[in-house]
Amino acid sequence: MPRLRLFQIDAFASEVFRGNPAAVCPLEAWPADSLLQSIASENNLPETAFFVPEGEQFRLRWFTPTQEVALCGHATLASAYVLFRRLGHRDSIVRFESMSGPLSVSAEGDLLTLDFPRVEVELAPTPPADLLAGLGLEPASVFRATQDPNYYAILSSEGEVRQLRPDLEALARLHPYGTVVSTQGVEYDIVSRYFAPSYGIPEDPVTGSIHCALAPYWGARLGRSVLRAHQASPRGGDLRCEVRDDRVYVSGTAHLYLEGTIHVA
């Protein structure tokens, strides 16, 4: 397997250089996991996605620069973009099998919509000391989700979310947990940021998967099933979220940045 196709897609992006970059490598068969991890480490992006056809669907896997993860929203969106826009997938829905079960992405014009499992959170009555030290402030409340796994810190204002300068070394000690901070926004229903330094991602620009928990939580608080969300990283990105029973539909647009060939032997 000396050469592989490589695409770099900006997901949940209004234009190139916004949103969250993901590398996507279509494969015909699985190589050794060590090669997949080496490619992801070399790419040094928040996520590299690999997929292999299985009948009429695809087996999808995601790797950070340091390890494989169970679920990634923006790299799933990017993989669907590659299939729809670059590889000629003719159906309006692309279906994936993954470590998190069956996933699908539908296309309607430029808008791509993830169909992901809903994630429930529970109150963490005693937040870990490293979480408080990492944030450098006292959250209004802290929740956790074991399916991700992540801590979800609710802050009191959009300014606190945007101005936060966390101690990443302290947050890394929470592994395997990442850290989400969120609040109700002024122009958006949800404003958030996400930090996962123990996975090689100091701050993830836009994270589709955390909205599987954020949308149900904020939807219940605000009395809405459809919410507008913004992830307030330096690159920034917008998401539309809809909660339906045990599923969360997360929508956004994507843009091609790079297409080429990598040489692995």
Q: What positions carry a catalytic annotation?
A: 47
Name the nearest CA neighbour of 94 among 63, 54, 132: 54
Name the nearest CA neighbour of 240 among 205, 193, 194, 208: 208
Name the nearest CA neighbour of 95 among 110, 72, 114, 111: 114
Q: Considering only CA atoms, give the Rg of the chain.
A: 18
CA separation for the pair 175, 114 (Å, rounded): 27
- CB-based contact 224:241 (threshold 8 Å): no
- Residue the block writes with tokens 């599987």: 212
CA separation for the pair 17, 28 (Å, rounded): 30
Please name the amino acid found at residue 261: T
CA separation for the pair 165, 28 (Å, rounded): 43
3-class secondary-structure state, position 122: strand
